[in-house]
Structure 1
Amino acid sequence: MLDLRTALVTGPVVLDGGLGTTLEAAGHDVTGELWSARVLAETPAAVRSAHARYAAAGAEVLTTGSYQIGFDNLAAAGFDAAQTRRLLHLSVRVAREGAAEAGRDAWVAASVGPYGATRADGSEYTGDDGLSVAELERWHRRRLEAIVDAEPDVLAIETIASPAEAEAVMRAIDGIGIPSWIALSAASRAFDAASLRETLAASARIAGVIAVGVNCCPPEAVASALADPVAVPFVVYPNSGETWDAAARTWSGEPGLPLIGLDGWLAAGARLIGGCCRTTPDDTAALAARLHARR
């Protein structure tokens, strides 16, 4: 396979969709504070199978189940540091195995969620984490160094909830040695339209960053985020259109990934495109068919 940066020059690449959503549909409980990370720890074969479903549906990038894995929240759940590192490594391995199970080639993107994701309190939608840029940098760097050892193809630094956390991850990936994309939480109230686009532009200038964009947001929030061109391709993977209630820990609204804006996203420079929360392998298949028809 080409490296992912080179592939983006040739045309759009299909990302997968909601791993937790697919695990939940298969009967696994993802309502706890560790979400899909708990399934990864207890039933890794289920996570491998979910990755295989996405690969079979046409996903060319498989995102690992490491989004919620941090050393502090795993310690609170009874995992020591060595066990947390093993779980991060396992997340990469089962994604590769999922692609092999489906008989498909796929890049493996190690999911690096925001600090708020490990708190399981919805703060990835608010940016209210109470930490300084330096504190966030130290927190991210520890996990990044652990997951880099597992040799994923790319780091999916995603749902970053504030300009301060974006600055922290930009510092943390300096010299990390693996290409990255940085996706901001366009649903976070810590960003307005101007600061979102300014942060995307700054992120795109960082060495090793191959794409920047938005994820975990309503599909209708994507277009404004792509209004200003940046130095690298855009990555886009919105939610299905449903809304998360952090207090009740439930989703509301109508499921399904609306792709009415796809042509506009592509025209604006989006090259990594997929789905986030509440999207399914069926949504990935529909997206892959649309993109392959354009090719």
Structure 2
Amino acid sequence: MDSPALTHNVFATLSRSRAALERSGSLGDGMAVAQWNNHNDATTYRGPGHHTLSLYLAGGYQTWRRDRPGIYGAPGKLCLLPDEHESEWVIEGDLRFVHLYFKPEHFAQATVALLDREPRSRQLRDLTYADDPVLAAYCAQIVQLNWQDTASHLAANELAHGVLARLILEHSGPRAYLPKGGLSAGARRQVIDYIDGHLDGNITLGDLARLAALSEFHFARAFRDSFGMPPHAWLSACRLQRSRTLLRDSNLPLVDIAAACGFANASHFSNRFRAAVGANPSQYRAVLRK
């Protein structure tokens, strides 16, 4: 059994409960999935620090949330637990469900890409027993796949990115208050545009700090406040995302894709891609073009 989901707090909380883990796995890019069953239990989640999407697969008719009594689950129902979420659940009878785990940086990257908004200005909604046939279908397709098989793993990775996009576009909204600090809107736009336009080159912290008229130290702190991760992590994620797009939409050789995305060579690109996605670039391209 693959166990990357163990790094997620909701996974760890369920592991200490009566819930039985059926299987778990990595979905690539730091995303994870776990399939569970439970019976006559109670579970509490407190600020897990990551986002969790739950789809009920079977049962759940007597499962309810303590702060929302009288509302019960059912197969096909969705629950969204944001990273700052707190709730207590009562499971009476049988319940079988799947969890998808996303880190705050996944939300940040998708928010910028899809909405062109500063990530800290948005938040995922706390959902209990929501109906979203599109989202449920994505999750159900992930459940049907063998997450350990390379081709199925990559298909699940693509579906997970689709889930995240759906969450951002349909189940997020403005944050009630904007935390202090961070880059100004103008500086944020300049920095993102510069990174996107120079992925094939050597981008330094000094280059980015000068765009925002800040020292390197203050820029690094402001960037983390705005995007939830350090500049080097954002740059790495952008390079990997650009490479995914080129693998999917172009016929460029791997050596050219590596150069276009700022990797030292094809070997460096392949190693970094495999570490993030769980398969090498050639496998990724072959699966997407079947």
TM-score scaled by structure 2?
0.25
Which one has the bigger strand percentage? Answer: 2
Structure possessing the higher relative contact order (Cα contacts under 8 Å, 6 or more residues apart) = 1
Point out the structure with max Rg over C-alpha. Answer: 2
